[in-house]
Amino acid sequence: MGKKNILVINGPNMNMLGIRQPEIYGRATYEDLKEMISAEAEKLGVSVSFFQSNHEGALVDAVQQAYFDKVDGILINPAAYTHTSVALLDAVKAAGIPTVEIHVSDPDTREEFRRVSYIRQACVATIRGHGLQGYLEGLKLLADQ
């Protein structure tokens, strides 16, 4: 059996890590996050690729493409689309790929509207409020599946 291939998808404004609300998201940049995940993937013996977009349809396309590319797992931080996107929920359901929902902050401790996650019902796990470390937890979870 070959190396597991994990796709890490980040939604809107995640490219602004380190700039956007550092009191919530910290000072690490999106590039720092990618390097951290890549280093952990190497330790776990899995292959990892990244996709980030501020556009809902592009995120849906990435999930659908993961199906055709035979990706073994998806780590997704849908960001604001967590609370609004039935399209992302439907894409994850259709792809049928084990998916872990990640949030740097804990949306349940923030504004009321952030407590709703449409995508959660299609995910095997949700990791929230663990900072960037949550991505590594999700990666390990998918590597062990």
Bridge partner list, 73: 6
Annotated catalytic residue 81:
no
Q: Which residue's structure tokens are 């470390």? A: 133
Annotated catalytic residue 118:
no
Both tokens assigned to 3: 């190396």
Q: What is the rounded distance in angstroms from the CA atom of residue 32 to the CA atom of residue 88?
A: 26
Q: What is the rounded distance in angstroms from the CA atom of residue 25 to the CA atom of residue 132?
A: 8
Give Cα 19 to chain centroid, integer Å.
Answer: 19
Q: What is the rounded distance in angstroms from the CA atom of residue 109 to the CA atom of residue 141?
A: 24
Both tokens assigned to 30: 């999106």
Among residues 25, 81, 118, 135, which one is catalytic?
Answer: 25
Q: What is the rounded distance in angstroms from the CA atom of residue 62 to the CA atom of residue 7?
A: 9
Among residues 81, 103, 118, 135, which one is catalytic?
Answer: 103
Active site (catalytic) residues: 25, 103
